[in-house]
Amino acid sequence: MSLPESRIWSLREEGEDTEDAILRRVLASVPRRKLTSARITIDRSEPPAGSAHGSVRSQVTWRDDVRLALERLNGRASLSKIYREVRAIRRASGRSMPASFEPVVRRTLEEHSSESEVFRGGPDLFYMPEGKGMDVWALR
């Protein structure tokens, strides 16, 4: 049960300002067994015209957005530039922007950097080329 982003917004009701709000209401009536396989995802292999990420197929994560932002910023940038680029990516693709946007981006960078104290293993994608606390991040 995957819904393209435009289909999600077509289900919007008064007072629903995010995809999460719409999906919470819509999916509340779906039995839990069906929800375990439902995902909205993005295929980056052949992006359609005007799309930042491509067609709907595999789930896009914050990690994907942060990585794409750094790729667009030539692999290295200050946090403020990363924030701007991630915001542009999410808006262009019609995804929600939480109030805690900047902390989410910082957490994503830290959780995927072996130099960080909160690194949880897995992909080690980012590093701090100027050292900790300098607010500059880069792709490995």
**Domain boundaries defined on the chain:** 5-40, 62-139
Tokens describing residue 15: 């007072």
Cα atoms in the Cβ-side hemisphere of radius 13 Å centred on 74? 2
What mean pLDDT is predicted for residues 65-93? 95
Q: Does the structure show a pLDDT above 70 at 96? A: yes
What's the pTM value of the predicted model, to 2 decimals?
Answer: 0.59
**In this structure, what token pair is assigned to residue 59?**
């789930």
> In the chain, what's the furthest Cα-to-Cα distance?
50
More confident residue, 136 or 1: 136
Banded pLDDT at 30 (limits 50, 70, 90) = low
Q: DSSP character for 99?
A: T
Q: Please, which pLDDT band fits residue 121 given cuts at 50, 70 and 90? A: confident
Q: What is the pLDDT of residue 47?
A: 47
